Copies of this chain bind each other. A is one copy, B any other.
Amino acid sequence: MRNVAERIAVIGLGLIGGSLLRALAAAGHHVLGYDTNPTTRATARTAAARVPKSARWQITSSVPDAAAAADVVVVAVPLPAVPSVFDTLAAAGYSGVVTDVTSVKGAVADLAAAHLHGDGQSLAGFVGGHPMAGREASGFAASDAGLFDGCGWVLCLEPETSIGDWLRLAALLTAGLRVRVVPVTAAEHDRAVAAISHVPHLVAAALAAFAANDPLALALGAGSFRDGTRVAASRPALTAAMCGGNAAATRAVLDAVLADLSAARAALDGQDPIAALEPWLTPGAVARAAWPPAAGKALALPADADALRNLGRAGGWITAVARDGRSVTAVQPAERPD
């Protein structure tokens, strides 16, 4: 794919949008940003003057102004604000590629179908996205051009997704931001993030809430409490939107984890709880000791939707898109010794 400068609009300048604005501008793209909050726009405008001229962005006064001539529009607003941005893009007749950065992908695909394509006005192509990066801090003030360095970034590849649109975004992210792009369907993504993020948030909240009633426990809490409950301190509204916005997958994973913990409960109830717990603990210990998965050898893979989805399903990712758009550089996780 072309590595030439693209014209990119970033709508929503919080932690993710602001960091993307900085990172894409630093990579040499022509970046326009917009945020609904005038104070944020002013801050982002002032911040642009503080970076080298070649890495500056521009701030516009409306979504259509930012999107007008953009090759790609990144919608980086919270989930509840996504439909109105889609409506605005559709009404403006935007016909480029649209992506988003929210943590639930099935719900956003439904919103794109209803609001971006629903009225037949828009010719835009939609590719759901989710950078696996975050911080406790939020807002443009916390934004950082290096936030995405080396992180995973899901780009949804559904049967109806244009492979050309998908590859264009994948090229932009791999070349400009050095992220690992993971090709999956929205349903696969939602199930995986329920397992690695949404259910861990619920579990952390339950552990913190239990200890809250016991001042002695709070006084004795050390490493396992600190790490096991860290994400419980997140804003409840954000965690509720994330888990509740992915309710079906979160419920399914929570059911499996609850069933597994009931087995531990039974082990504790037996004659020899120590002997019964050890085999119960072993699969998790093996998995966690082997995590994060090491990268295997990089290989060229045809830029074919089925091949890409198989790669993502197996835990692999891509690190580059060939200039001609016919192949990608794919990395599989290294085989684990058994």
Contact = CB atoms under 8 A, between A and B. Distances in A.
A317 B210 contact: no
A241 to B, nearest CB: 5
Nearest to A199: B207
Interface in A258-300: 258, 260-262, 264-265, 267-269, 272-289, 291-293
A322 interface: no
4 smallest CB-CB distances across A and B, nearest first, come from: A215-B315, A244-B274, A212-B287, A205-B284
B284 A240 contact: no
A221 B291 contact: yes
Interface stretch (A41-49, A86-94, A223-231): A223-231
Nearest to A202: B264
A185 B56 CA distance: 63
B182 A257 contact: no
A67 interface: no
A237 B278 CA distance: 6
Contacts of A195: 207, 210-211, 214, 217
A75 interface: no
Given A210-B195, A228-B203, A273-B243, A218 B291 contact: yes
A250 to B, nearest CB: 6
Interface residues of A, number: 105
Contacts of A134: 222-223
A254 B263 CA distance: 11
B265 A218 contact: no
Contact of A233 (B230, B257, B288): B288
B240 A278 contact: yes
Contacts of A236: 277-279, 281-282, 285
Interface in A185-215: 188-189, 191-193, 195-197, 199-212, 214-215
Given A197-B224, A251-B268, 6 more contacts: A188-B216, A205-B284, A215-B315, A233-B289, A239-B285, A250-B268
A207 B257 contact: yes
Of the listed residues A134, A235, A277, the one surrounded by the most CB atoms of chain B closer than 10 A to its CB is A277
Contacts of A280: 205
A207 to B, nearest CB: 6
11 contacts: A195-B210, A199-B207, A206-B257, A211-B291, A224-B230, A226-B292, A229-B288, A232-B288, A236-B279, A240-B273, A240-B274
B227 A227 contact: yes
Nearest to A151: B222
A162 interface: no
Given A197-B225, A236-B281, A278-B240, A273 B247 contact: yes
B152 A284 contact: no
